[in-house]
Amino acid sequence: MESNEYYSSILSAILFLVFTMHPGANAHGLVPALYVFGDSLVDVGNNNYLALSLLKADFPHNGIDYPGKKATGRFSNGFNFADFLAQNLGVPTAAPYLSLSPDSNNTDSYLAGVNFASGGAGIFNTTNSGQCISFDEQIDYFATLYAVLVEQLGTEKTIDHLARSIFALVIGSNELINYAKSDPADSASPEDFVGSLLATLQVQIKRIYNIGARRFVFIGSGPVGCCPGVRERNETKECNAVGNYVSNLYNTGVSSLLNKMQKSEDMSYSFFDTYNAVLQYIKQPSTYGFSEVAEACCGLGDLNAKIGCLPVSTYCDNRNDHIFWDYYHPTEATSRLVTTTAFDGSAPLVYPININQLTTS
In this structure, are residues 80 and 74 in contact, taking their beta carbons and an 8 Å threshold?
Answer: yes
CA-only gyration radius of the chain, Å: 19
142-157 in b/e form (b: 16+ CB < 10 A) is beebbebbeeebeeee
In this structure, are residues 313 and 305 in contact, taking their beta carbons and an 8 Å threshold?
Answer: no
Query: Does the active-site annotation cover 161?
Result: no
CA dist 42 and 101 (Å) reads 21
Residue 335 has a CB neighbour count (10 Å cut-off) of: 25
Name the active-site residue from 43, 109, 326, 335: 326
Query: Does the active-site annotation cover 322?
Result: no
Q: What is the DSSP string of 128-161?
A: TTTTS--HHHHHHHHHHHHHHHHHHH-HHHHHHH
In this structure, are residues 123 and 246 in contact, taking their beta carbons and an 8 Å threshold?
Answer: no
CA dist 359 and 48 (Å) reads 31
Phi, psi angles (nearest 5°) of residue 36: -120, 130
State the DSSP H helix or E strand holding residue 251, giving kind and residue range, or none if neither.
helix 241-264
Residue 171 has a CB neighbour count (10 Å cut-off) of: 26
Classify 128 as helix, strand or coil. coil
Residue 27 has a CB neighbour count (10 Å cut-off) of: 9
In this structure, are residues 242 and 189 in contact, taking their beta carbons and an 8 Å threshold?
Answer: no
Residue 192 has a CB neighbour count (10 Å cut-off) of: 10
CA dist 83 and 249 (Å) reads 28
Name the active-site residue from 8, 40, 134, 221: 40
Q: Which active-site residues does the annotation give?
A: 40, 326, 329
